[in-house]
Structure 1
Amino acid sequence: MDSDVLTLVIILAVILAAVLGVLLVRGGKVPEGTYPETRDADDRPDDASEASSTAVAAPEDEEAGAAAEPELAEPAEPAEPAEEPAPALETPEPVAGRLARLRARLVKSNNVFGKSLLALLSSDDIDDDVWDEIEETLLMADLGTEPTTELLDRLRERVRVEGLKDPERVRTMLREELTALVDPSMDRSLNVDVSGRPSVVLVVGVNGVGKTTTVGKMARVLVAEDKDVVLGAADTFRAAAAEQLTTWGSRVGVPTVSSDVEGADPASVAYEAVSAGIEHESDVVMVDTAGRLQNKSNLMDELGKVKRVVEKQSEVDEVLLVLDATTGQNGLNQAKVFAEVVDVTGIVLTKLDGTARGGIVVAIQRELGVPVKLIGLGEGPDDLAPFDADQFVDALLEER
């Protein structure tokens, strides 16, 4: 009986010890979400980063008793996206500055033409062989048969009468005769100062002459003259034409009217461009048309339609034909056909720096009876300038 009592006491003692142990362990547990100062950062549990974002402020001193109430952090305001700065508009070079620079380029490209004539006319004995060489030089410069004959007759007469030998006197004579052929009396101004409505300029030409680029450069010329311009991308057949023209316009702050539909009616686009110019009281509306071969009658008929549709709301003040100077006499054939379809009022002669055939200016003017109004002498955005007959001839004869 005594052994049973002893066994029961031992069992009760073991149970009591286990209960006390559990109570002691629960009493010393660290509350979740806080870290005692004595615990190193390396001893923190791996999931510490997943703890609440609420910051718990430590008490200012030991006598403060219980921990202060937590301060809730204000949510950070989302940062406003930075506005992209508007692209700076380009300032086109003034026309006066262009002329001097372009003249220097013209001197380099056409110098052979002028030097050949001066050398021949300064010969001690200007016989028939020399005159034949002069004629060949003029024809190779694309002056054309009729103007060449006319110039030779004048030169022969003056040499016979004046007996020229002095190089400077020869230069003066040649300058006078060439200037007369280029005809400085022709009105080369662009008709862009119409009262009460925008001036409408239609730009035409064959494929590959740089027509869209020329329209963009012309916009820069007009902006440099403080004109308010609207562009019309009526070349709806070449996929990149509207985008290309829009880029040219955006560089100088000029809007472009175009169609989102590839192959849209070009006459409709031209009409909308003129409407926009009238609505916004612009100074000039320039319409770029699709390049077309002069021997394709249906395409040429369509060009006539563009002009007729535009004229339903406004007169077309300028029809500028863009020609590539390097094509020589072929450019004359192009010019004839375009002049039959639309009333060409002026010529834009591009790539004049790539040829020594300065006589093409005279030939085209004689063929169409209209003046060369603008010339292009390079690939730069401001390499287009109003044509000046006196400066052109001076550049032909100027020595490098």
Structure 2
Amino acid sequence: MRSGLSWPALAAGLLAGFVGFASSFAVVLQGLRAMGADAAQAASGLMALSIAMGLCGIILSAWRRMPISVAWSTPGAALLAASAMPEGGFPVAVGAFLMSATLLVAAGLWRPLGRAVAAIPAPLANAMLAGVLLGLCLAPMRAVAEAPAMGLAIVLAWALVGRVNRLLAVPAAVLVAGGLIAATVALPEGILAAAGPVPVWVTPAFTWPAAVGLALPLFIVTMASQNIPGMAVLAVNGYRPAPGPLFTVTGLFSLLGAPLGGHAVNLAAITAALCASPEAQPDPARRWWAAVVAGLVYVGFGLLAGAAVAFVGAAPPVLIQAVAGLALLGAFSGALHGALAVPAQREAAVITFVVTASGLSVAGVSGAFWGLLAGGAMLLLHRRRG
């Protein structure tokens, strides 16, 4: 292993793959079901996302010889979960996924578009994300109210393990929830037989409300909350690849996964830190193996997507929502802090947050778009007054 894969890189990759999947797959499934996907379509979407981010991470890491980790867009999944199902159902949502993926490709090929997204004031982008996440982050408390014993067990597992290792807090909650579900719920027969690949083609439909209310916010949160921080994590660890090709390749994989129900894949941030840090491998030139191992883990989980969806489908929804909410607490706290960090833009950020969190929908366009628009208008108004 002197010139190739090392034991530390293998361990880091296995941990990154497990944490990346277990920490947020419940959010992804909740988002797809909120968009109108049935069980088979949700399983297909989970499979497509897992395999797409696994293969994309393997290809980019081997190509650049850098630990370039790829993940699904967790903020994007949260956006879907907090949005109303579009008129026309899941095919319209898939059309929005394709439009968002096209914008991701364009951001890589056409620098002005990437710069335009980066120019959105960080407090407004963070406020929009915090508004999207608020309702989901309340789910653990709802679980405690509706199912006190199981809800408290899940929350306590998250809290206690989090004191020892924050990265393992949500996976611990997932394992406890899984144990409780297996012990108390009659699981469907043949659940293991449903573990194999389950691709389901969804013919996309395109509407203007979905383009504005789903595709555009999905593109913005994916770029602002995943791709840009992902580049920052690489830079902190001494890797500075050109961002354009990375955005383009992740956008292309998003395009390939969209007709099968996948909403978006992008550069990872948290799992990128696991693979790119010195703990993964003292030699920076060999850390890319950790990202390759993580990609293989994602592909493996993708091949078990059918069983995961069948298991989750048999569980009380409030427990799955509780796990999803716990998985998003860190993102919510970070977004809320970023939204209020600049005093001069705080009022505009609060307006963005309130409008987004309200669930306002006008002409079929979701509150995320109107929140960003309202906050931007308030920011311009203040600047003119000044």
- Relative to the length of structure 2, the TM-score reads 0.20
Structure of higher CA gyration radius: 1
- Relative to the length of structure 1, the TM-score reads 0.19
User: 1 or 2, which has the higher strand percentage?
Assistant: 1
